[in-house]
Amino acid sequence: MIDCMAAIAEPAPSSVQAQTAHVDLALEGMTCAACAARIEKTLNRMPGVRARVNFATESASVDTSLDDPAPLIATVERAGYKAHVKRDVELERRDEERRRAAGLRALRADVAIAIVLTLPLLLPMLAMAVPGAHMSERDLIPRAWQLVLATPVQFWSGRRFYVGAWHALRGGGANMDVLIALGTSAAFLFSAVVTLMHADQHVYFEAGAAVITLVLLGKWLETRARAGTSAALEGLVRLQPKVAHVERSGALLDVPLTDVALGDRVVVRAGEAIPVDAVVESGISSVDESMLTGESRPIAKGPGERIHAGTLNGEGALHARAVGVGASTLLAGIVRLVAAAQGSRAPIQRVADRVSAVFVPAVLAVAAVTFVATLLVTGDAVRALVHAVAVLVIACPCALGLATPTAVIVGTGRAAQLGVLVRDAAALERAAALTDLVLDKTGTITEGHLEVLAVLPAAGRASDDVLALAAALERGAHHPLAQAIRSFADGRSIDLPTVQAFQAVPGKGARGRVEARGDVLVGSPGFLAEAGVADVAPVDQAHAEATLVGVAADGAFVGWIALADRVRPTSAAAVERLRSMGMTITMVTGDHAGAARRVAGEAGIDAWQAGALPADKVAIIARLRAAGRHVGMVGDGINDAPALAAADVGFAMGTGADVAVDAADVTLVRTDLHALADALALARATLRKIRQNLFFAFAYNVLGIPLAAFGWLDPVIAGAAMAASSVSVVGNALLLRRFRPRSST
């Protein structure tokens, strides 16, 4: 089904200059968006380095002219964080799982200790909330005991904030840890001094301890939730089995997947996952490819059919020859594309990045102003300190840093599960804004499996002569028309002449020299007319709406070959669905008007253009964009590549040519226009989540900081709200995992 997906199966070449290398770094120690901004700024100060840091994936994507990544790692470490070069996706996933599990265990222990020690400190607050209660804090827990309980919370459970703050300040920046450490330390030290001096002042041990406890609890919940954002990618990685059954020296051996080589003969038993990309040599079965394509129905497989790693074999055993192993399988290529997309940055994130870069210094300034202003107005240093602490605690940039990348991670992962491969986050954002779709005909709206209806020789010519000349020239072409003609000729067992000086003319046809026949042309009626072919016979009415390929030899017309391509059974419903989504649809094809009219009518498309060359498709897209429209191009052929690249978003059908897949922003592995509608719907849902998250994050800080500054927000409540903000943003993004396509193909 996905025979031409080799462009995905092989690692994509770097898009940067030949002198530049690409390095992916795994980062450790980031606690908020300010950390990510700090690392990115520090790396970008290095000569010849362009870095993009993703807080949600804890990674950096770096283009560098350096031969050795060691200076990059050293720079990150000087900024107060850890880094290492990412390795194989599977190895990196295992390491990440181990680090995440260890981190969660340590965090859970800190949270447990903090909760146990903080709950007694909250008893006075709870007692005062009881109607008719007149007990003071001293009646319940002596201040000395409060100091004893609060100290481990402050300096053991909260040690990570001091470590993070020290690293940030040493690197010349400030982050969330600075805010938390500064705010809670102020409350603790003030309370400790009051306690040790036996002063008649209220103490705030419960405030500092509760803030640390709530922030840690929020970080634990956030970390667990963030682990769920990459579940789709991890699920793809786990699809491939670890062992393959390989026939060697007449015996069937269980071989580790890493030892399977190209050309090995593998056996896939009923109900097993397929270990490698392979071509079936014997056996008949059905294969569930839904994990790669989103196609719910099992696909029949027999000799000559291609099967893919990670898909699930049905009821029959298959014997197949390995044609893709390790990093060259379709599954590995999909994992690479999804991982790259999840690490990319959407344009809408720029506002959040600019805010995050100056957020912490601005909050420190607001806290200082709050302290001074409150002291001047009230003359109460304690109240001024409490207000400033509340400002420091509530102003966490975590939610701002998580708003966009978490939605992108979940959205692109869910898209991959539906057979939609998104190149980067920018393409996802552009896809959500599309207003117009330009559709190619063959292989996009139609099945792409053309069949020869009839060979119509000119007067005095033989059918086999027309077919032999056409099939001989089309032997060097890759268009569906060429494949259909070659297949038809093979079935007739016709001897084909030798062709010299073959030349493909994109969008028109092909030419070459055949011994004793001179220059031979095969192509569209317009191609023959341009070449000045004489005495071109008209086509009878019965074949007027078929796709026509003309054949001429030495300037004389030889005959027509009439072909037809069935419209996909789902195309009409998918076109109607796209139209209901607000899309304006135009079909553009290089075929003649009769064939275009037939397909457009069956698919329910009103606007269409026939006889379009590759340059014409590009011109149509340019005209629509000049009119202020946002245009998506959908195609699968070599002649579609320029238009795919010219559109705001290029969608390549998964069965298309490699060059079309390379030029596209989105690849639809499932060859059905419903997959296009699913892609657009998911892009819109993802952008909607990003906007919701950014609104929540901005609104939280815009409302919270003034409330804290005016004393209307207790530090404990501020800590709870800060923790809840990050968890809510990640939770909102995780709702994308519930996205269900409307198609049921």
Orientation of helix 715-734 relative to helix 673-709, angle to 10°? 180
Distance of CA 27 to the CA centre of its chain: 20
- DSSP letter assigned to residue 345: -
- DSSP letter assigned to residue 154: I
The CA distance from 54 to 98, in Å, is 20
Tokens found for residue 214: 């709530």
The verdict on whether 440 is a catalytic residue reads yes
Contact yes or no for 303/351 (Cβ under 8 A): no
Contacts (Cβ under 8 Å, ≥6 apart) of 62: 22, 23, 24, 25, 43, 49, 50, 51, 52, 69, 72
**Which residue, 34, 80, 55, 37, is CA-closest to 176?**
34
**Which residue, 457, 548, 470, is CA-closest to 510?**
470
Q: Scanning the structure block, which residue is given the tokens 């222990």?
A: 109
Tokens found for residue 436: 């117009």
Distance of CA 179 to the CA centre of its chain: 33
Residue of 177, 277, 424, 440 marked catalytic = 440
The CA distance from 672 to 29, in Å, is 44
DSSP string, 109-153: HHHHHHHHHHHHHTHHHHHHTSTT----HHHHS-HHHHHHHHHHI
Tokens found for residue 108: 């859970």
CA 643-650-655 angle, to 5 degrees, is 95
Q: Scanning the structure block, which residue is given the tokens 């103490």?
A: 203
- DSSP letter assigned to residue 388: H
CA 337-28-215 angle, to 5 degrees, is 110
The strand ranges marked E within 542-696 are 547-553, 556-564, 584-588, 607-609, 631-635, 649-653, 666-668
**Which residue, 415, 420, 421, 424, is CA-closest to 340?**
424
**Helix/strand/coil for 73:** helix
Q: CA of 655: how far to CAs of 306, 670, 674, in Å? A: 12, 8, 15
**Which residue, 339, 390, 432, 470, is CA-closest to 630?**
432
The CA distance from 244 to 260, in Å, is 7
**Which residue, 659, 650, 587, is CA-closest to 441?**
587
The CA distance from 639 to 505, in Å, is 10
Q: For 200-223, give one letter per residue: b (16+ CB within 10 A) or e.
A: eeebbbbbbbbbbbbbbbbbbbbb
The CA distance from 366 to 389, in Å, is 11
- DSSP letter assigned to residue 253: E
Give the pairing type, strands 49-54 and 82-85: unpaired
- Residues known to be catalytic: 440
